[in-house]
Amino acid sequence: MKAIVAKAYGGPEVLSVAEIARPQIRDNEVLVKIYASAVTQADVMMRTGTPWFGRAFLGWRKPKAPVPGTAFAGKIVEVGKAVTRFKLGDDVFGETSIGFATHAQFVSVPEDGVVETIPMTMSYEDAAPVTDGALTSHNFLTRLVNIQPGQKVLINGAAGGLGTSAVQLAKHLGAEVTAVASGRNAEFLRELGADHVIDYRREDFTQRRGAYDVIFDTVGKVPFSKAKQALKSDGVYLSPVLGLGLLFTMLWTREFGRQKAKFSATGLLPHAELRVRLGEVRALIEDGALRTVIDRRYELDAVAEAHRYVESGHKRGNVVLEITHADVAVLAA
């Protein structure tokens, strides 16, 4: 099968297309023929091997897992003898977490992994990125905080993968939502459900003293020490971007003061827990409360270009890898 391989840490040029063996499934696994994957900020971090402490999981000198990618959407084409949750032909989506291997035509997935059937009305392309932005923002906004109707929630980085999901989720939970992005995204964010939009190039939101119950800095651009000015006295600051500063702040605010700072490494939660949450996200998609925003699509061969674009830090929503198969091309001809 065709797959992307990364033989070293480095720039997008370390990624190349290779012909490798198709995975063999175990009794508890299914083989998914992948039609779409996503290129995410996490994929960029894994490619570059940064931050360095991540190499404890990824491999010190080079990636332990040669095929990158964690998100997938596709069709089940083989079912292990012990599998009961899925059948041949099911359309499924999910993530492999630190198992990687989804920037490829096929991946093997345990049935008790982070995998669910795709909602009827959803395309493979819309389904593939759900485990990045939507699942993460859902974790932050429903588990780390308990948003109540009428609460004031500010989403920084609102036009990104996490941000576009967070705006929709916060709105769905009944919050008054303020979205922060550059001016070019203002209209788009209003259409997505934001009540107010702030252009970070024109206004520093932290000057809005004591305004918000929750600030979700999805891109980790504004530290707690600054953001807290704009929080209510018992407000919560959320960030998915861990550094030593945030780690210290989390530990400190857990013990002292009423304002709290919180982080979670969503992809490292136990698979059973993530599967339950993916089911909840799936239900929101089926109800029409949440949709995937796709910015650009790339073919598998253009993965380096996709990485360059994601690394620019200005994607709108998600970047998708379209994965084709020779038999599909023959059928379409």
Contact between 144 and ligand NAP by CB under 6 A: the answer reads no
Cβ neighbours of 98 (radius 10 Å)? 12
Yes or no: say if 71 and 38 are a contact pair by the CB < 8 Å rule.
yes
CB of 5 to ligand NAP, least distance (A): 22
Question: Which single residue brings its beta carbon nearest to ligand NAP?
Answer: 160
Residue position matching structure tokens 């840490």: 9
Q: Which of 95, 102, 98 minimizes the C-alpha distance to 69? A: 102
Contact between 206 and ligand NAP by CB under 6 A: the answer reads no
- Complete DSSP assignment for 138-150: HHIIIII----TT
Residue of 108, 178, 266, 292 that binds ligand NAP (CB under 6 A): 266
Yes or no: say if 209 and 235 are a contact pair by the CB < 8 Å rule.
no
> Which pairs from 283-290 meet CB under 8 Å and 24+ separation?
284/138, 284/169, 284/172, 285/119, 285/122, 285/130, 285/134, 286/119, 286/120, 286/121, 289/168, 289/169, 289/172, 290/134, 290/165, 290/168, 290/169, 290/172
Contact between 96 and ligand NAP by CB under 6 A: the answer reads no
Tell me whether residue 241 or residue 302 sits nearer to ligand NAP (CB atom).
Answer: 241
Residue of 161, 285, 293, 300 that binds ligand NAP (CB under 6 A): 161
Tell me whether residue 11 or residue 313 sits nearer to ligand NAP (CB atom).
Answer: 313
For ligand NAP, which stretch binds (CB under 6 A), given 118-126, 142-150, 218-226, 277-285? 218-226
For ligand NAP, which stretch binds (CB under 6 A), given 60-68, 111-119, 264-272, 276-284? 264-272
Binding site for ligand NAP (CB under 6 A): 40-42, 45, 132-133, 136, 156-157, 159-163, 180-182, 185, 200, 218-221, 240-241, 264-267, 313-316
